[in-house]
Structure 1
């Protein structure tokens, strides 16, 4: 079945270039030219949208506001596009729930590779059904729910993927390179410290106050998910 991408971009030349490229790769493409239209199209088509490519600078509503609105309702993967290679922009986008980002100008093959990684993760997770648990934290791959102390924890797609890999390897130390390959894909050419950024996001969401972090740093190597019950 064809995957559907909501492509949000106001630059006509980029739309006329990317839209047919995505269609050639066998994606259905819904295109929005401004943030307000993007939000309306998302609401109308959210049941069929598999991925959103979202420009930062948009008329009417900027990309960050569109992302925030979407994240109140859905974990659908979002790739942010920005013309400015400012770390502050990237951090703001990731903090607001973006799963990935790409800086203009970019090579079409890089964007397509990132799309394939995200779609593959979606498909892989649909093919398996399992419940993983550590302490009072559980992840159900069928419902895609993460529960802590009987409360649902809202995670982005990327945070979910990272937590799932860690849960599948409890007590095993994973290097940053292994996590990059498993979560972001072997073709990812961004900054390796993206792993550290997402580990911090996860800790903020799943750790209990006054307790040691479930995700422990193995200095100079990577991270391990470990639970030590001191009760």
Structure 2
């Protein structure tokens, strides 16, 4: 049974989400704020976190960043805001998905199940892509650079792996959105730019075996270092 951490300072939302997730077959642990959530994560193994954005002391964006630094689990942000800037901030913080309040509990469950499928879908696939001293491992969702192991948020890994599997090919933002996020994704294409920027920042000082090139007016491509 998978364990889901639900973090919200609204006790009514906390209880509502917990009831529906429990009925769906998940074990649920609750936290009323970000500090409480981190304490729980250090004590109990959780498989996914559902995090409200608007919380006192530590908001959902800050908590997501902390989760990304310390734990390798998917995160879904719950927000009452539907502005592009807020969605962008959510993806910058490292969230895998977001859901705008008010929402149907069934939709949250669908999104949770989809994330688990994506995380588990290649558990038996031993495909690896190598660029010199860099190995992108689709089986473990890890990137190995010499003796250092990097764990990426799911969407960052999927984006990197897709570009690496198709080197020297240019893909539009629209194509990447459809392939990585799905045809029903309602976000802005700038999401791709945010994720590309994060990937560049992560690897620019670690390896020069590949780089992600911007093709102005078209999109992005991954290029391998010339021998």
TM-score bucket of the superposed structures, by smaller chain: 0.7 to 0.9
Structure 1 residue ranges without an equivalent (≥5): none
SS in 2 for 1:31: strand
Query: Cα distance, 1:208 vs. partner?
Result: 5.5
Using a 3 Å threshold, how does the CA distance of structure 1 residues 41 and 204 change in structure 2: closer, same or farther? same
Q: Deviations over 1:181-206 (max 9, x none)?
A: 33223332222321222112112222
CA contact 2:210–2:225 (8 Å) conserved in 1: no
* Residues 193 and 107 (structure 1), Cα distance of their counterparts in 2 relative to 1, 3 Å cut: farther
Q: Any conservation in 2 of the 1:167–1:225 contact (CA below 8 Å)?
A: yes
Cα deviations by residue, 1:11-52 (Å, 9 ceiling, x for unpaired)? 122223322222333332222222232112212222xx2211
Return closer, same or farther for 1:66/1:13 CA change in 2, 3 Å cut-off.
same
Q: TM-score with structure 1 length normalisation?
A: 0.81
Distance 1:67 1:127 in 2: 28
Superposition map of 1:37-48 within 5 A: 37-46=36-45
Is residue 223 of structure 1 aligned with residue 220 of structure 2?
yes
Output the CA distance in 2 between the equivalents of 1:21 and 1:134.
45
Aligned to 1:72, the other structure's residue is in SS state helix
Mapped contact 2:84–2:187 kept (Cα < 8 A): no
Q: Which residue in the other structure is 2:15 paired with?
A: 16
Query: Does structure 1 residue 99 correspond to structure 2 residue 96?
Result: yes
Q: Does the residue aligned with 1:170 lie in a helix, a strand or coil?
A: coil
Gaps spanning 5+ residues in structure 2: where?
none
Cα distance in 2 between the residues matched to 1:178 and 1:26: 35
Q: Which sits farther off after the overlay, 95-104 or 50-59?
A: 95-104
Select which of 167, 171, 174 maps to 2:171: 174
Partner residue in 1 for 2:200: 203
Q: 1:180 to 1:104 in 2, by over 3 A?
A: same
Q: How does 1:1-231 map to 2 (within 5 A)?
A: 2-46=1-45, 49-148=46-145, 150-207=147-204, 214-229=211-226
- Indicate the RMSD between aligned Cα atoms, in angstroms: 2.9
TM-score (norm 2): 0.82
The answer as to whether partners of 1:56 and 1:64 remain within 8 angstroms in 2 is yes
- Residues 7 and 24 of structure 1: CA distance in aligned 2, closer, same or farther (over 3 Å): same
Which 4+ runs in 1 deviate beyond 6 A? none
Q: 1:29 to 1:187 in 2, by over 3 A?
A: farther
Deviates more, 1:29-38 or 1:118-127: 29-38
